Amino acid sequence: MSDTVDQLTVYSDHVCPFCYLGRRSLETYEETRDDPLCIEWHPFDLRSGKRGPDGEIDHTVDDGKDEDYYEQARQNVERLQDEYGVDDMLNLDEVPETDSLPAQIASYYVDDTHPDAWRAFDDAILEALWIDGRDIGSPDVLADVAASVGLDGDEIREVAADETRRDELEALFADARRRGVTGVPTFTTDEHAARGAVPPAQLERLVEGV
């Protein structure tokens, strides 16, 4: 292994299909590397503009996205599925409408307290939603996902349901916005950034400058 460890910061939200596709692209890039890549994960709340003071999501809030926007997004998802060979992902209509905040709380907690297990847990959350169609807003589902990767399910259930932890996430969301992050996935290094489910070759250029 080289003395210098390449690092990549990733801002993401589990309910974003492009974050799932971006993770699959990242996996493909990682497979080409001789040395492991150090990844720093930051949560991001795509629905901050629709989230009320009690954490509830108001889907009636106008976010400026019309039917044409969502149709274009659907086409882009399908294109990237073909491009990245992702044939196990559910159609967008099959994915349950859910709030990702409990999942992000749980993932942030695991990243802090069980860092060696974080990647497996976060990958399993994404797969639970985008492959299995499970409601990752449910603490019970998150407990089951945690147990599947060797974590204490009861511990994660309690964490995911703890509303006092939401303030920590809100601070992280605000910090991301101050850093100029406006959408996800966003991949950043010390000097450069790329937004969207960019291909493995672009991640290589971002990290390695080649």
pLDDT tens digits for 11-63?
A: 999 999 999 999 999 999 999 999 999 999 999 998 777 777 666 777 677 77
Task: Report the alpha-carbon angle 7-11-17, nearest 5.
Answer: 120
* For residue 1, pLDDT beyond 70: no
Residue with tokens 């990243």: 111
Kindly state the average pLDDT of the residues 79-85.
96
Domain 7-208: CATH superfamily is Glutaredoxin (3.40.30.10)
End-to-end Cα separation, the chain, in angstroms: 19
Phi, psi of 178 (to 5 degrees): -65, -30
* For residue 94, pLDDT beyond 80: yes
Residue 196: its pLDDT value, please?
Answer: 97
More confident residue, 53 or 141: 141
Percent over 90 (pLDDT), the chain:
79
Q: Do the beta carbons of residue 145 and residue 128 sit within 8 Å?
A: yes
More confident residue, 59 or 105: 105
User: Which residues, 6+ apart, have CB-to-CB distance to 60 below 8 Å?
Assistant: none
